[in-house]
Amino acid sequence: GAVVSQHPSRVICKSGTSVKIECRSLDFQATTMFWYRQFPKKSLMLMATSNEGSKATYEQGVEKDKFLINHASLTLSTLTVTSAHPEDSSFYICSARNTAGGASYNEQFFGPGTRLTVL
Amino acid sequence: KQEVTQIPAALSVPEGENLVLNCSFTDSAIYNLQWFRQDPGKGLTSLLLIQSSQREQTSGRLNASLDKSSGRSTLYIAASQPGDSATYLCAVMDKGGSEKLVFGKGTKLTVNP
């Protein structure tokens, strides 16, 4: 299947700083990417849909000024957690949707996740 | 609003057994259904994708079926191995608007040597 990478895999930061997480589709173009967070032993929670060349669509209850999303190219979306606080500590996972057609049309591929710890 | 349910929540089997994981969804207006596995502390690995017009997909020891009219899918794992131990997630891509994935809560599978 297609490969989606995330960087960094782990980050520890001080409260009040901003952290940027990158999500890249390595071998296909993705007009749509998704950002999730996951708490320990819980389901994935969709935070926002990232659309190439336009504004992200945020889920209800997710602060758009807190979680800045930029989808500047067909292979890269970034999530910036601004002024991070300990309650933002979580596992953040991105996914990219294959819209190029073929047998895996609309299949979503997930990155390996980023573990954020805010001290 | 689409809801996805997975049964059982957890399953423990001895190595070599064949097993079935169940997934049901409330709204049959879907584009596709995907099965994933997630290992602890890792991202999701796509196992099988079934488009709404298809009935089943197979990959190695895995077979997934889709009955859209009844809102059900099953994931069949043949000859289970300890390396199959993981959480298995079912998700449907909704036609309801934004084409997001709606996930079930998963089935945690443990295959004992």
pLDDT digits (tens, 9 = 90+) for A77-105: 999 999 999 999 999 999 998 877 777 78
What's the pLDDT score for residue B100?
A: 85
In this prediction, the residues of chain A whose per-residue pLDDT falls under 50 are none
Shortest CA distance to B67 belongs to which of B77, B78, B53? B53
Pairing status of strand B72-77 against strand B62-67: antiparallel
Contact B45/A at CB under 8 A: yes
Angle at A108 between CA A67 and CA A31, to 5 degrees: 65
pLDDT tens sequence across B60-83? 999 999 999 999 999 999 999 999
Contact B13/A at CB under 8 A: no
What's the pLDDT score for residue A67?
A: 97
Residue B97: pLDDT band by 50, 70, 90 thresholds? low
Shortest CA distance to B19 belongs to which of B57, B62, B60, B76? B76
Structure tokens belonging to residue B61: 């020891």
Query: Is the separation of the CB atoms in A20 and A91 below 8 Å?
Result: no
Nearest to A107 among B43, B49, B106 (CB): B49
> Residues 80 to 99 of A: which have CB under 8 A from any B CB?
91, 93, 95, 97
- Comparing A10-14, A99-103, B2-6, B51-55, the range with the smallest average pLDDT is A99-103
User: Most confidently modeled of A49-53, B9-13, B97-101?
Assistant: B9-13
- Count of beta carbons in the 10 Å neighbourhood of residue B8: 11
Per-chain mean pLDDT for chain B: 94
Nearest to B43 among A32, A93, A106 (CB): A93
Contact B43/A at CB under 8 A: yes
**B34: chain A residues, CB-CB within 8 Å:** 107-108
**Can you point out the beta strands (E) in chain B?**
4-7, 10-14, 19-25, 30-38, 44-51, 56-59, 62-67, 72-77, 86-94, 101-103, 107-112
What whole-number distance in Å separates Cα of residue B107 and Cα of residue B21?
A: 7
The answer to whether residue B57 scores a pLDDT higher than 70 is yes
What's the pLDDT score for residue B45?
A: 94
Query: Is the separation of the CB atoms in A17 and A85 below 8 Å?
Result: no
